[in-house]
Chain A
């Protein structure tokens, strides 16, 4: 085959530009850390990339939802703890007051304290986290217990507040307020606040005997048991949430790993490739320098 200078020059230029293009590709891979930059580089990687990203965003979102779930559960538990303490104190006071040796003024003092404790329980029932009341079911913007001039009304909503913590798994994070902070004046032993009001009234009533007061011990105990039951359930749920968080954590690791495996570059490989390409490029340049030699023209003078 007849070879001419222009062919050599064209070929050299072609090879140099191919070599440059490869260097450019490796540079892009190294500086972005990604194997591909457009779908046509590798359609499968691109498609999977979109799916994995969606997956990862979802998992990250569930992780974010956990903090809100903890927020609910922990605040509810803390509030219920305070409520239990208040009820314990009330129980002590009832025990004291059921003693017939207490005279009227002393009973009134106890009654006063119980009224104070009732108010505290109302405050606890009206616990607000952020901008929501946590003991009013899904009706979070409305105060569950109103106390006007000592008379109490409740408007509790027993709906569950659900949070999605994994794909398709919804966990209720609130406490059913009707189980604890309830008002039912129809009968004694039914509602917490109604019972406390009955108790205070009875203590203020001089005709009531220690035996009458003693009757409340049973009711109070029932409310305490209720509270403890609710807290136990809450604890169990928290446990479940923690377990789920563990799972989501590992899911996140897996999702990130899949994403990385799919589209992140293997640094060692690319750096090696780059180094190889660099020497190829140097060789191409050196060859070029040898090929663009003085021609016959230079020797014929």
Chain B
């Protein structure tokens, strides 16, 4: 038997349900511009019809609906797009870090321009040519000394600036690691909250959004994989559960977050960047990265001289900063990377340039008859030569500049020509003959670190390589950015709030709400008829 107030009850449910749908619409509109927000949808479910099947059911012609209720409030989102987005974001993070590091290096090297090392050297060769035509001129000698000083200072400037940026990149790595640790911690905390909400039958949509946003952020830094774990209890079927986040290293999966637990990542032998009480070494050791520690598991950066570390900003930064790649014959670790490589190249260049120049210079004679004098000093070893190269004290006396190939020939500028040619001397040649003298230079006995091409072509080659690397990094950055954007667009297409749509819904829900209210009026009138209008025949 139907209840008297059945109609009122059904209409009330209608009003309440439409009202909550309106509130969800309001929530969507309010969050239209919230990053990471996913539009939410109210799933309307018709309530159980009357009568329910059973032996004692009343005999009425059919089942009658009893109204509506909010089945669930769900996010409209495609998980697959998240995976795609994170994959592209991961590559973008890597190429962005790399392109950025190379761009900074290009700024410092400043080639091709009128103030780079190539130009400074060209001016030095020019000064030597000038000296060769007027070797007795103090002015020309002084210019040679000053231009030599300019070359030395350019070497110092380049090496120091590159080291400075390298240190900055180390700090950036520290910041990235801190960020990863903080993200892992936040995700684990959200997991905890979700685990306590879901079993009660709720969908914590906004927490899901926040967690997904954090994972998006994390995916830019390192390669992560997400696994879902149901929370159990009375959780709805659409509940996302807690997430386990794994750091992917090749086929190896190392957990960062497992439910409410998480692991710190750090560098063994590294430095504690924030100096706080957690004693986590976020910054890599100054000697280059060999491995990263995730909890107690260590992840090596290279394997068989190949970088195996997964993509992401962290790898980009470490590649720029420098990593240990095997050992040389003396058992000393070989550090490679964008910055260490260029610094080593500069050292090699400074050493080769200085040593070869000295060797030629020693063959000549100064105005005062001096011979065997070095022009450059501070070239004891290749390592750090770009920072230590300087003018030898003997050159303070300009007469010691050996422009002549013969003693007491003030007008002989042949050795100045030889010196001017140092930049284009073939480093692979066994012997280099000199003008104006029968003396030769035995290249092999100098043990130069550069053994092919000339000083100029070597430098040119490095700048060319830098350019090619930069071009590739920029191109890949743009490519992955475009891909990420297109995935993002598809994601937005599914999940972002459309105000028009929300307005339509609002109108829909409002009208339904009004109609449900009107239904109450109708029922009210019916009841009024029964209660006040019936049984008063003839009154």
A64 to B106, CA, bound (A): 32
**Beta-carbon nearest neighbor of A3 in chain B:** B493
A295 to B503, CA, bound (A): 9
Contact A164 B125, CB 8 Å, known A43-B467, A68-B134, A295-B500: no
A51: CB under 8 A from chain B? yes
A157: CB under 8 A from chain B? yes
A214: CB under 8 A from chain B? no
A47 touches B460 (CB 8 A): yes
A85: CB under 8 A from chain B? no
7 interchain pairs, CB-CB under 8 A: A4-B497, A57-B126, A65-B133, A132-B136, A136-B411, A162-B413, A300-B503
Taking the closest CB of chain B, its distance from the CB of A173, in whole angstroms, is 9
Contact of B406 among A6, A65, A138 (CB under 8 A): A138
A50 touches B413 (CB 8 A): no
B229: CB under 8 A from chain A? no
A138 touches B119 (CB 8 A): no
Please provide the chain B residues from 436 to 488 with a CB less than 8 Å away from any CB of chain A in the complex: 436, 456, 459-461, 463-471, 473-474, 485
Taking the closest CB of chain B, its distance from the CB of A225, in whole angstroms, is 27
Please provide the chain B residues from 130 to 147 with a CB less than 8 Å away from any CB of chain A in the complex: 130, 132-134, 136-137
Residues of A within 8 A of B102 (CB): 40
A283 to B321, CA, bound (A): 43
Using A38-B103, A58-B122 as known contacts, list a sample of 18 further A-B pairs with CB atoms less than 8 Å apart, ordered by residue number in A.
A4-B492, A5-B32, A7-B496, A38-B467, A39-B109, A39-B112, A41-B471, A43-B466, A46-B463, A49-B111, A53-B122, A61-B125, A61-B130, A65-B133, A68-B134, A138-B406, A140-B411, A164-B129
Please provide the chain A residues from 40 to 76 with a CB less than 8 Å away from any CB of chain B in the complex: 40-44, 46-47, 49-51, 53-54, 57-58, 60-62, 64-65, 68-69
B489: CB under 8 A from chain A? yes
Taking the closest CB of chain B, its distance from the CB of A276, in whole angstroms, is 21
A254 to B339, CA, bound (A): 37
A150 to B133, CA, bound (A): 35
Contact of B126 among A1, A39, A61, A163 (CB under 8 A): A61
Residues of A within 8 A of B436 (CB): 162
Q: How many residues of A contact B (CB 8 A)?
A: 57
Interface SS majority for chain B: helix
Please provide the chain A residues from 155 to 188 with a CB less than 8 Å away from any CB of chain B in the complex: 157, 159, 161-164, 170, 174
A64 to B129, CA, bound (A): 9
B154: CB under 8 A from chain A? no
Please provide the chain A residues from 247 to 287 with a CB less than 8 Å away from any CB of chain B in the complex: 263
A3 to B497, CA, bound (A): 9
B471 touches A43 (CB 8 A): yes
Residues of A within 8 A of B492 (CB): 4, 6-7, 10
Contact of B411 among A14, A38, A137 (CB under 8 A): A137
Please provide the chain A residues from 85 to 107 with a CB less than 8 Å away from any CB of chain B in the complex: none
B494: CB under 8 A from chain A? yes
Contact of A6 among B465, B467, B497, B503 (CB under 8 A): B497
A50 touches B32 (CB 8 A): no
A296: CB under 8 A from chain B? yes
Contact of A140 among B107, B136, B456, B461 (CB under 8 A): B136
Please provide the chain A residues from 106 to 164 with a CB less than 8 Å away from any CB of chain B in the complex: 130-132, 136-142, 157, 159, 161-164
Residues of A within 8 A of B494 (CB): 2
A289: CB under 8 A from chain B? no
B410 touches A142 (CB 8 A): yes
Residues of A within 8 A of B106 (CB): 38-40
Residues of A within 8 A of B125 (CB): 57-58, 61
Contact A141 B460, CB 8 Å, known A4-B492, A170-B417: no
Taking the closest CB of chain A, its distance from the CB of B490, in whole angstroms, is 8
A164 touches B130 (CB 8 A): no
Please provide the chain A residues from 4 to 35 with a CB less than 8 Å away from any CB of chain B in the complex: 4-7, 10-11, 14
Taking the closest CB of chain A, its distance from the CB of B514, in whole angstroms, is 15
Q: Mark A224-266, 1 if CB is under 8 A from B, else 0.
A: 0000000000000000000000000000000000000001000
Taking the closest CB of chain B, its distance from the CB of A54, in whole angstroms, is 6
Residues of A within 8 A of B499 (CB): 4-5, 295-297
A40 touches B470 (CB 8 A): yes
B471 touches A159 (CB 8 A): no
A139 touches B474 (CB 8 A): no
A65 to B417, CA, bound (A): 12
B493 touches A140 (CB 8 A): no
B435 touches A170 (CB 8 A): yes
A20 to B492, CA, bound (A): 25
B498: CB under 8 A from chain A? yes
A163 touches B463 (CB 8 A): no
A47 to B276, CA, bound (A): 48
Residues of A within 8 A of B412 (CB): 138, 159, 161
B411 touches A139 (CB 8 A): yes
B122 touches A57 (CB 8 A): yes
Residue of B410, B420, B485 ringed by the most chain A CB atoms within 10 A: B410
**Beta-carbon nearest neighbor of A173 in chain B:** B133
B411 touches A138 (CB 8 A): yes
Residues of B within 8 A of A14 (CB): 485
B153: CB under 8 A from chain A? no
**Beta-carbon nearest neighbor of B133 in chain A:** A68
Contact of A4 among B404, B466, B493 (CB under 8 A): B493
A7 touches B404 (CB 8 A): no
B470 touches A141 (CB 8 A): no
Contact A141 B137, CB 8 Å, known A51-B460, A54-B456, A64-B130: no
Residues of A within 8 A of B134 (CB): 68, 130, 132
